[in-house]
Amino acid sequence: MVKPNSLHFTKLDAFWPDDTIVAMEGPQHQIVEIHKNGYSPQFETAAYWQRAGISGARKNITVAGFPAVEITSPEAAGLSFVNEDEVWMVKSEGVNAPSLLHEVASRLEFSY
């Protein structure tokens, strides 16, 4: 992930049971977090977003070549996709949350 210039890193040292890979903050105190969870058939992304306090319009998109589900409202947005046996979640909160979510998601790349 290449960090957008408008953000700075705030969390790079999380460890289990925290599933945060990286967190960033914007100039208007916007927050973006990238999380990774193990995939299981019982993992329900809608329940995850509900626990995270994100609800709103839902649509299917593509992120880093993977089919993803996005949930957006003006002040909070989230997306999730499965990469092999991992569920990746990107969450954005604050001013222009959906736009910031898209900016970060467009910078995600996976190499093998």
Q: How many domains does the chain fold into?
A: 1
CATH number at residue 62: 3.40.1000.10
Average pLDDT, the chain: 86
pLDDT, residue 75, reads 87
Query: What's the N-to-C CA distance of the chain in angstroms?
Result: 14
pLDDT, residue 14, reads 80
Within a domain: residue 102?
A: no
Task: Show the domain range for 59.
Answer: 8-96
Within a domain: residue 106?
A: no
Summarize pLDDT for 65-105 with one digit per residue, the tens: 889 889 988 889 999 888 888 888 999 999 999 999 999 99
Torsion sign across C-alpha atoms 106, 74, 5, 48: negative
Q: Say if CB 6 and CB 112 are below 8 A apart.
A: no
26 pLDDT higher than 70: yes
Over 98-109, what HEC string results?
HHHHHHHHCCCC
Torsion sign across C-alpha atoms 10, 49, 61, 42: positive
Within a domain: residue 111?
A: no
